[in-house]
Amino acid sequence: MRQHRRIRPVAAGALLCAVAAVSISSHGCLLPEGGGFDADLFRGSYVGTWSSQTTGEGGPARIDIRIDLAKQTATLTLDFDGQYLGIDNPPAHEMNASFDLTGAKARGTDALFGDYNVVIAADGTMVGVFRNLDGGNVPLLTYTGKLTGNRISTEYDVVFADGRVVKATAELIKQ
C-alpha cells in the first residue's frame, strides 16, 4: 500500500484546475452557433503550472481532454508534477465529466479527489468544491475561475483541519 505524506496545501488546489479544463475554449467562444455549450471546442492538451502564493511551491501541469459527443461525456487525464499531494511526481489520474447545452459538470467520489462537485457555465465561469481529499487529509478545497480563449485561470483556497488556509492559482494554455 502506498504511503502518503500529508498533502501539501498548494498541490491539492491544482486538482481543481484539472477538473475545470473540461470547458476550455480554443476559440474564445463558449457557445456554438445554435446556442448552448460546445464541448468539442475543449478537446486537446493543456499545459501550464500550479503555484502557491502562501508556500511558494509549484510545478508543471498537464491536462488531456477527450470528448465523446454522442455520449455527452469528457474524460480528463490529469498529470501534475513536483511535490503534488505530498507525493513525488504522482502518476497521471483520470476523471470523468458530463455536459449538455447549459455547461459541464464533474461530480463524484474518488480516493484521491474525495467528494467533488464542479460546475462550468456556458459563459466560462467555474465553481468547484472538493471535500475529504486524499482520505480526509485535506477536508476542504474551493475554487473559482474563468475560461477565456484558450486559457484556464483559477484561484483556490485549501482549508486544513487546523484552520490554515493556503491560497494558490493554476494557469494552463491549450497546445
Q: Can you spell out the DSSP letters for 100-136?
A: ETTEEEEEEEETTTEEEEEEEETTSEEEEEEEEEGGG
Q: How confident is the model at residue 148, as a pLDDT? A: 64
The band of 4, judged by pLDDT with boundaries at 50, 70 and 90, is very low
Residue 151, beta-bridge partner list? 148, 173
- Each residue of 63-116: pLDDT tens digit? 888 999 999 999 888 888 876 655 677 778 888 899 999 999 999 888 777 898
Dist CA 134 CA 90 (whole Å): 13
Q: How many residues does the chain have?
A: 175
Look at residue 17 and give its three-state secondary structure: helix
Measuring CA to CA, how many Å separate 151 from each of 63, 82, 100, 158?
12, 21, 21, 22
For residue 125, pLDDT over 50 is answered with: yes
Q: How confident is the model at residue 33, as a pLDDT? A: 56
For domain 9-174, give the CATH superfamily.
Calycin beta-barrel core domain (2.40.128.20)
Dist CA 102 CA 117 (whole Å): 16
Measuring CA to CA, how many Å separate 43 from each of 21, 46, 111, 169?
9, 9, 26, 22
In terms of pTM, does the model score above 0.85? no
Q: Are strands 83-84 and 73-80 parallel, antiparallel or unpaired?
A: unpaired
**Mean pLDDT score, 46-64:** 90
Comparison of pLDDT for 7 and 77, the residue scoring more: 77
